[in-house]
Structures are given as structure tokens and as C-alpha cells.
Structure 1
Amino acid sequence: MKRIISLLIVIMMTVGIVAGCGQNAGNGTMNEKSSESSVAPENTGESQDGSDQSAGTAENQEEAVTDEFPLTVKDAGGFEMTIEKKPEKIASLTLGTDEMLLSLVDSSRIVALSSMADMEGTSNIVEEAKAFPNKISSQSLETIISLSPDLLFASSWTDVNLLEQLRDAGIVVYCYESPNSIDQQKDTIREIAKLVGEKEKGEELIAWMDQKLKEVEDKIKSLKEDEKLSALYYDSSTYTYGKNTSFDDVVTRAGMRNVVSEAGLDGWPQISKEEIVKLNPDVIIVPSVSWTEQTPEAFAEELRKDPGLKEVSAVKNNRVFIISDAHRSAISQYIVYGVEDLAKAAYPDLFK
């Protein structure tokens, strides 16, 4: 029950949507970058060797379309749909698909991004999103219908009533499952890339993620097991991350141990400060975005000065870090930056 409640609170804070997606199966039709290699590849219409992927005869192009479409698939809610042809008018209701799509398809194929796409602190595509006039949310039923997209991306937490209304209006809506690991995130990218007819672009994006992860792995590979620091995420609502969460995977790939997982806690539990003392993490991670009047900096300082936490390793050794929410909690390729951010904060000497 704790996990369900905490998940709902996170969802309400980030997207303002509180119901499940497509619970009954049915049928339907139709930042900061450290180097050049840090930038997620964008869809330019060219392959990595510089050749023009759009070049070719009409016959070849028609053959490529026939190979992939029509495409019949089931989404995370068990809803079956057929995408008759390569989508040319794509809309996105989630920040995750906003970020993935901008690296998978030409911007001319996107008719709307989510209302979070240009939100400072949570989005990795703030500047790019400014070029898109249409921003949609769960309150945008009429706008979405008026845009008449070939394909609309939603998530496993999107309001089922909204989905029913959109599908009744003839909109093809695909809900993806929120990933709980970086490998699952790669699978989601493959899934989205297939649906938009850009499987090769999807593999390029995954290769970029692997490159970034390998760069971090090479930096921390000298760490011995007893040198790896333990970590704990904590926010002002007392929530943390346990097993079966992307954060747990991010911590592990950053060369650290998640003390909440080691304690056997799953999902998104709430913990008290007394429990933090018992867990005694070497590092405490706090969010970079606040949903209250208290700033992230003020919350971090509150933890550092809390007399009840003075014996906690993270506090004693000044390892209470604010890590970018846009990276750490990304439901897109940008989650690899979360691994890099955390590894750099925990082991700065290895990144000099």
C-alpha cells in the first residue's frame, strides 16, 4: 500500500494524472553537456557516416514502409491497435516520450509535446521545446482531437477516462510502461522507435547511452568493493527509492550501493530520520526541484544541520548532494546523465 500511495504522489507532482492506463484491452485503428559525445543524437535525416538516409527511389521507400506497416501492437494496458502507416503527425503526453521523440524523428513529424517539455529543472529539452507551439496535458482533450495526430503517446499512468475519449474520437493512443531500470529504458526506446518507423535511430540512441555508461564505468572500475560508498535518496516528503526502481540501477552503475535496497525495501517507501540513522548512508541525495516553498538548497542544509543526523556518515563527511532531477529521474535516454552526475559527486577524484 505504501508503494501505491507514494507512486501516486510522485505522479500527481510530475504530471497531474492519477489513474491507470488502458486497464481493459480493446481494439483501435490507427542541458549541460561535458563534451560533444555527451549530446544525445538528434534525427537529422543522415546516418552516422554522413549519408543521406532520406535519399533513394520511391520504390525503395515504399518497400521500407511495407516492411514495417501496417503494424499491429498491444500497449502496456493490453490495448491492441493497428498503425496503418508510418506516423507523420505524432503527439506526446509525457516528458519521457518528448525527449525520446526529439532524438528519433524529424521535428516536422511532431505536432505536440507535453506541457512539461519546457519545464526548467525537470526537462532535458527546454530549449528545443520552445520551437513547438502546441503543448498538451491530461486537460487538453479538445486540443488533441483538433490536432488529429496519427499516433499519440501516453503512459501507464494516464487517466483511463481520457484515453477512452481519445480513442472514441478515432485517435490511436499507445501507452508505454514506465521503466524500472536502464535496460528497460533501452527496451522502451526500441519500442517507441519501432512504432514511429525509426528502428535504426533507436539503436543509434541506445549505442549513445552505452557509450556514456562505458565512460563512467571506465572511470570507476578501479574501485574495490569495500571502497564503494552507500547512498540514499531522501526528499522533503520523506520518500526514498528501494528495489525495482531506476534510481537503484543508477546508484549501482555509479559504483555505489543503495542502502534502502539492501534493507529489503521495495519501490518508493517513506522512511523516518531515525531510519536514516540506522541505515547510515555515506551519501544522501536530495532532489534539485522543490514542490514546496522550501528550496532544494534549504532542504539540503536542513539535513546537514539536523542534530539527529550528525552521526550519519553522509552528514559527517559533507556528502549531502543535490543531483539533477532532469537526469536522475529521466524516463528517456538522458537517465545516463544521472549515472554520471552521481558518480562524479561521490568520486570526484576519479573524474579529474
Structure 2
Amino acid sequence: MKKILLVLFSFLLLITSGCGQNTDTPEENSAAAYVVTDDKGRQVKIAGKPVRIVSATYGTDEILAEIVTLDRVKAFSKWAGDPEITFITKEQADRVGNKVGENTEAIVALKPDLVFVSTATPDSLVKNLEDMEIPVYVAGSPKTIEAMRKKVFGVAAAAGEKSKGEALVSTMDNKLAELESKLKVIPKDKEKVVMAFSFIGAIGRKDNLLDDIFQYAHVRNGAAEAGLDQGSSALSKERIIAIDPDVFLLPTWNFDSNNDVQKYAQQVAADPAFKNIKAIKNNRLEFVSDRYRYVASQHVTDSIEAVAKAVYPELFAKGE
């Protein structure tokens, strides 16, 4: 009788311990379905932790590369492996093997169980994929560091890796704290005025991500101060001269092979209209890779560091 009671007790213990498990958490049970809200506010139902992920944006490429094993990624975006616009290395791109653009047929051919696109992706492509019952998560283009944190959380939740997303954001926050410990020594009235350029003119609209990056880097955004905001498309040379930037940040990514990085820098340096600007007189024409200037992932903290190093190299001397 004692043996029978012991068997029954063991059986009941096994059942109750199993009931205590959270089977709704995708990280614990890859077969459990879950729902996430994307950056467009859409509800996206995912049948279980995805193992055939397609990423059509370089920002989601970079987040995924940190939180999932690359065998779960069946395609990166078309820019993967280009060091001037993405943090995905050539080795990572080669391991994944495939790259996709905004092409329904190419994406479907990879038999994905989750696709990441951007808010700029045509609605027709999203609809085509969803009509074929393929979950699509629309990721945004954050305009602040805080919004970037939320993007990381969202992508990680969709990939079934919530805790890894939390860890990645924690790493971001630690990096921000480390940078602030170096940069806080700069008095507000001593912050350098920095103006960033693309091949067609000044960039860095007020209340956009580059503007936020500059604030965290303890530099003043010359373009925004000169009046470049969401309602304007260009700055005149007169406005640039009036702001008198301490530093020019020049483009590095010749994305269509129609622009020469060094030639552009020479043109800016030789422009007679700029000859009395401090950035020209003090030879402060700096190159910061476009992957930092157009960042769309957790690497925004690296962007802050890159800008700060370019503007205040003395604060990042070896050993400090």
C-alpha cells in the first residue's frame, strides 16, 4: 500500500510541476503562438518562435544579428555587408547567404515564418505577404534614442527573444552611461557647433535622430540651429556662414557610384564662401561613416561615440 501511495504522490508531483510552467512564453516553448504589436500599431500573430526569418531592412538585420542565431535568418537586406551603411559584417552576410529587397516573389521563395519590413515599405507588399498567411512585422525609423530602445524591444519580442532584447537595451544604456561620464566635462557654453553634410547639402533636421545623437554627444546641431527642420529641404550658404560651424562632418558612402567622397571634401574646403568659417580655417573637416549617421538599430550608441570622438578626440585619448 505504501508503494502505491508513493507512486501516486510522485505522479501528482510531476503533474503539478508541469502545470506551473509558463507555456505562453515563446522563449520557453517554441511551439506556442503569440501576438506582438509592430511600430505601425498592427497586431501580428506569430505561430511559434520563428526559425525562417527574412529581414528586408538594415536596422532589423543588425538587431537580429545580436539576438538570434544566424541559422534562423534566411535573408538579410540588400545592404548587408556594406561597411559604409550597415554594421552587418561581410562574414555575417555570407553566413546568411541571401539578400532581399522589397520583392514579394523573392521573399516568398525563402518560405519565411516571419518577415521584417520598414514603415517605408509599400503597403501592397505587406498585404501580398499577409494574404499568403506570412506574418509581417513593420519596424519604424526612430527619431530618438528612446524610440530606438522601443524598436529593439519590439523586434526582439517578435523574434521570440524578449529577454535578449532586454539585455541588448541594457547594453545600450551602459554604453550611454560610459559615454556621458567622459562627455559631461564639457561645459554647455563650450560645446562645438557641428554641421553634417550629405552630397546634396546639410543634414540633421531638428527633432530627428541625428539631432538626438548630437545632443547625447554634447555637440550643437548647426543645421538645426540654422533652420533646417521638418518643413525645409536645404540650407543656403548664407545660413551656414551665419552659424559658423566648428566642425563639418562629411559623407563617406558613395551608394550609387556617382559621387566621389574625397572630391566632395575638396570642393567644400575650397569653396570661397566658406573660407572664413571656423571648420575650414581650423581644418576640421571630419569623416564619420554614414552607417553612424543613418543608424537604425542598437548601434545608435556607437554613433554617439563616433560623433563625439570626431569632435572631441582629446577626450578619447588612448588609456582614458
Q: Deviations over 1:114-166 (max 9, x none)?
A: 11112231111123111111211113x22211222111000100012222221
Match of 1:64 in 2: 25
Q: Confirm or deny: 8 A CA contact 1:300 1:322 kept in the other structure.
A: no
Match of 1:331 in 2: 296
Say whether residues 1:242 and 2:205 are aligned partners: yes
Once residues 242 and 123 of structure 1 are traced to their aligned partners in structure 2, the CA distance between those partners, rounded to angstroms, is: 22
Q: Deviations over 1:86-121 (max 9, x none)?
A: 222211010000000010111121111111112231
Deviates further, 330-339 or 66-75: 66-75
Look up the SS of the partner of 2:203 in the other structure: coil
Q: Confirm or deny: 8 A CA contact 2:195 2:221 kept in the other structure.
A: yes
Identity of matched residues, %:
34
Match of 2:247 in 1: 283
Question: Normalising to structure 2: TM-score of the pair?
Answer: 0.85
Say whether residues 1:120 and 2:83 are aligned partners: yes
Say whether residues 1:350 and 2:311 are aligned partners: no
Match of 1:260 in 2: 223
Q: Confirm or deny: 8 A CA contact 1:328 1:339 kept in the other structure.
A: no
Match of 1:297 in 2: 262
Once residues 226 and 262 of structure 2 are traced to their aligned partners in structure 1, the CA distance between those partners, rounded to angstroms, is: 28
Q: 1:169 aligns with which of 132, 140, 162?
A: 132
Deviates further, 75-84 or 212-221: 75-84
Say whether residues 1:138 and 2:99 are aligned partners: no
Look up the SS of the partner of 1:202 in the other structure: helix
Question: Normalising to structure 1: TM-score of the pair?
Answer: 0.78
Once residues 264 and 180 of structure 2 are traced to their aligned partners in structure 1, the CA distance between those partners, rounded to angstroms, is: 31
Q: Residues 180-219 of structure 1 correspond to what in structure 2 (within 5 A)? A: 180-219=143-182
Once residues 158 and 52 of structure 2 are traced to their aligned partners in structure 1, the CA distance between those partners, rounded to angstroms, is: 12
Match of 1:321 in 2: 286
Match of 1:229 in 2: 192
Once residues 290 and 21 of structure 2 are traced to their aligned partners in structure 1, the CA distance between those partners, rounded to angstroms, is: 43
Q: Residues 139-154 of structure 1 correspond to what in structure 2 (within 5 A)? A: 139=103, 141-154=104-117
Once residues 135 and 75 of structure 1 are traced to their aligned partners in structure 2, the CA distance between those partners, rounded to angstroms, is: 23
How far residue 78 of structure 1 moved from its aligned partner, in angstroms, is 4.3
Once residues 314 and 334 of structure 1 are traced to their aligned partners in structure 2, the CA distance between those partners, rounded to angstroms, is: 27
How far residue 185 of structure 1 moved from its aligned partner, in angstroms, is 0.6
Once residues 63 and 177 of structure 1 are traced to their aligned partners in structure 2, the CA distance between those partners, rounded to angstroms, is: 26
Q: Confirm or deny: 8 A CA contact 2:156 2:164 kept in the other structure.
A: yes
Gaps of 5+ in 1: 1-56
Once residues 199 and 76 of structure 1 are traced to their aligned partners in structure 2, the CA distance between those partners, rounded to angstroms, is: 16
Q: 1:157 aligns with which of 114, 117, 120?
A: 120
Which structure has more RCO (C-alpha within 8 Å, separation ≥ 6)? Answer: 1
Q: Which amino acid aligns with 1:135?
A: K
Once residues 110 and 271 of structure 1 are traced to their aligned partners in structure 2, the CA distance between those partners, rounded to angstroms, is: 42
When the two chains are superposed, the root-mean-square deviation of aligned CA atoms in Å is: 2.3
Across the two proteins, how many residue pairs are aligned to each other?
A: 295
How far residue 168 of structure 1 moved from its aligned partner, in angstroms, is 1.6
Q: Confirm or deny: 8 A CA contact 1:124 1:327 kept in the other structure.
A: no
Once residues 176 and 341 of structure 1 are traced to their aligned partners in structure 2, the CA distance between those partners, rounded to angstroms, is: 25
Once residues 96 and 279 of structure 1 are traced to their aligned partners in structure 2, the CA distance between those partners, rounded to angstroms, is: 33
Q: Confirm or deny: 8 A CA contact 2:126 2:136 kept in the other structure.
A: yes
Say whether residues 1:129 and 2:93 are aligned partners: yes
Q: Which amino acid aligns with 1:169?
A: M
Look up the SS of the partner of 1:233 in the other structure: strand
Q: Confirm or deny: 8 A CA contact 2:250 2:287 kept in the other structure.
A: yes
Look up the SS of the partner of 2:35 in the other structure: strand
Q: Which amino acid aligns with 2:282?
A: N
Look up the SS of the partner of 1:184 in the other structure: helix
How far residue 67 of structure 1 moved from its aligned partner, in angstroms, is 8.5
Q: Which amino acid aligns with 1:283?
A: V
Look up the SS of the partner of 2:96 in the other structure: coil
Q: Which amino acid aligns with 2:283?
A: N
Q: Deviations over 1:176-197 (max 9, x none)?
A: 1210011111110001111112
Q: Which amino acid aligns with 2:25?
A: A
Q: Which amino acid aligns with 1:349?
A: E
How far residue 302 of structure 1 moved from its aligned partner, in angstroms, is 1.4
Structure index of larger Rg: 2
Gaps of 5+ in 2: 1-17
Q: Which amino acid aligns with 2:238?
A: E
How far residue 339 of structure 1 moved from its aligned partner, in angstroms, is 0.9
Once residues 213 and 269 of structure 1 are traced to their aligned partners in structure 2, the CA distance between those partners, rounded to angstroms, is: 31
Q: Confirm or deny: 8 A CA contact 1:277 1:309 kept in the other structure.
A: yes
Once residues 38 and 23 of structure 2 are traced to their aligned partners in structure 1, the CA distance between those partners, rounded to angstroms, is: 26
